[in-house]
Structure 1
Amino acid sequence: MSTKREENPWGRFASNFCASRLAIVSLVVLVALIVSALCAQWITPQNPYDLTQINIMSSTLEPGTPDPGGHYRFVLGSDDQGRDILSAIIYGLRISLGVGIVATLGALVIGLFLGLLAGYVGGWVDSFIMRLVDFQLSFPAVLIALILLSLLGSGIDKVIFALIAVQWAVYARTVRSAALVERSKEYVEAAVCLGLSGWRIVTRHLLPNCLPSLMVIAAVNVGHAIALEATLSFLGLGVPVTEPSLGMLIANGQQHMLAGAFWISLFPGLALLLTVISINLVADQLRDVLNPRLQR
């Protein structure tokens, strides 16, 4: 008597994800951007933030212009300080991706904890946390981030803190809703009758049912955090000039647009657009795969 082998859940997940060619291309582009950012010091022709490698005589050179020293060619041109735009973009990707991922993970942990606490404990704890969530979501995210950075000052750690402060509420509300649904089900009531601790019920029963939706929200919020950080840096309240992100690179070229040096802002802007679009397309396919109702 033959038995049917169980289908590997990871294989099924990969098969469903690869059903979209656009998602595969987006994932490949995203992985290429991440690898490029991690290997920036080995693959770039110039360290744009090393003063010994910058030549002021190479300032605002058009794309494709060779370096006066003959060492390499400015494929995407150079800025007003003689920095290679391509190298600056790859180095800037490290800051933008790092800030977006760390801020999203921090907001995810805080929102997950508060959402589970509100959904499982209930009562005045639930009311208090949800009032905080309503208060935070009643204001635009960029406004809250601007106020916080105006008080705290600029810096990568300050930007990460501001992004966490504007993102945690979404996770808390989502987790709380899922926890309330699962808490009323029979298997949770049975676990309570068996005398299982609240910590075990939360980690074994409530948490696993909240993770699929959180993965999708986190993937989307990475792109949102990168775009928001670029906005803050463009306004001069983001990362410092010594460690510029893509938003700072775009801001650096703004004053040269009317002079015809459009490439200083154009190419970092395209890199930012490509990064955010790739993340959003991958997150969109994750949503379809993790939600059976959306699968064709």
Structure 2
Amino acid sequence: MSSTAAPESHTPTAEAAAAASPPKVETPWRRFFSEFAESRLALIGLIVFTIIALIAIFAPWIAPQNPYDLAQLDILDGRMEPGTRNGMDTFTYWLGTDDQGRDMLSGIMYGLRISLTVGVGSAIIACAVGASLGMLAAYAGGRTDSILMRLVDLQLSFPSILAALMILAFLGKGVMNVVLALVIVEWAYYARTVRGTALVERRREYIEAAQCLALPTWRVIFRHLLPNCMPPLIVVGTMQIARAIALEATLSFLGLGVPITEPSLGLLISNGYEYMLSGKYWISFYPGIALLVTIVSINLMGDQLRDVLNPRLKK
């Protein structure tokens, strides 16, 4: 009798299965986030800033009191210590009250809305204006470059706080006026940064190819030149947001920022400054802590963004 041998069964091993599976494609976004996550401080800054942004966005729904509504304020509750119940015995002033009877916790939540709106809004507008002028100066060259860069030098020769004070002394108080003043004092930083990058990029082959195809100037600048100038813009923009928030707080502290009916963090700090010596520390202390944490969290993210987006700084 002839016996037939059973076919040999092959069980795929883990190595064979791994070799057969296609390798994961590392996208630029995945590589960016993996490099950004290498810094624990940057992750802490991102988490803290996200929490702060969410608090500012949902402040009308989570704040115990609307500090902008005069009908909800009671002057008899002014300068209450932290942990005191309000006069109606409906909620607790966990962080105390200011001299107007405004709940400090609610004031900080709403003040973050003003500070972030002014900081992010002015940074976006200043970035758009400065980046456009910087790329135009680098691409056009000649007299256009000279005129625009002299304007940048003139702008940067003035201290930012002094220029903003002069502008607001002419325009008056108001959120939009503060944003406009910050745009005027910030656009030059973006223009100089973009011009330096664009001068290098405009000598690349892809720009020469676009010019040989007789593409419109605006398309060459915004479709081909701008995307390659974005990494330094992102870094500068992040730093400028923190700078704008600090500058707005300084202006409001000096009395030339937002109106008293819509207090920002700087105005809340200013309201309690005169009571510091009398022991009413919480009126200025807690808004100051909120401002410090916001600026530090943004700077932590900006430092890591600079390291990730600048190849020269990578180890």
1:193 aligns with 2:212: yes
Deviation at 1:54, TM superposition (A): 1.6
Task: State the partner residue of 2:12.
Answer: none
Note the 1:258-277 alignment, pairs <5 A: 258-277=277-296
Task: State the partner residue of 2:31.
Answer: 12
**Distance of 1:184 and 1:77 partners within structure 2:** 60
**Structure 2 gap ranges (5+):** 1-18
Task: State the partner residue of 1:228.
Answer: 247
**Distance of 1:57 and 1:68 partners within structure 2:** 8
Task: State the partner residue of 2:84.
Answer: 65
Deviation at 1:257, TM superposition (A): 1.2
- Is the deviation greater in 88-97 or in 284-293? 284-293
Bigger radius of gyration among the two: 2
1:54 to 57, 73, 76: 73
1:33 aligns with 2:52: yes
Deviation at 1:205, TM superposition (A): 2.4
Report the AA paired with residue 249 of structure 2.
A
- Is the deviation greater in 163-172 or in 63-72? 63-72
Report the AA paired with residue 66 of structure 1.
R
1:127 aligns with 2:183: no
**Distance of 1:196 and 1:246 partners within structure 2:** 48
Give deviations 1:71-96, integer Å, cap 9, x for gaps: 11111111111111111000110001
Report the AA paired with residue 54 of structure 1.
L
**Distance of 1:46 and 1:191 partners within structure 2:** 57
Deviation at 1:195, TM superposition (A): 2.5
Task: State the partner residue of 1:173.
Answer: 192
- Is the deviation greater in 182-191 or in 222-231? 182-191
Task: State the partner residue of 2:97.
Answer: 78
Deviation at 1:232, TM superposition (A): 0.5
Scaled by the length of structure 2, the TM-score of the pair is 0.91
**Distance of 1:294 and 1:137 partners within structure 2:** 26
Alpha carbon RMSD of aligned pairs, Å?
A: 1.4
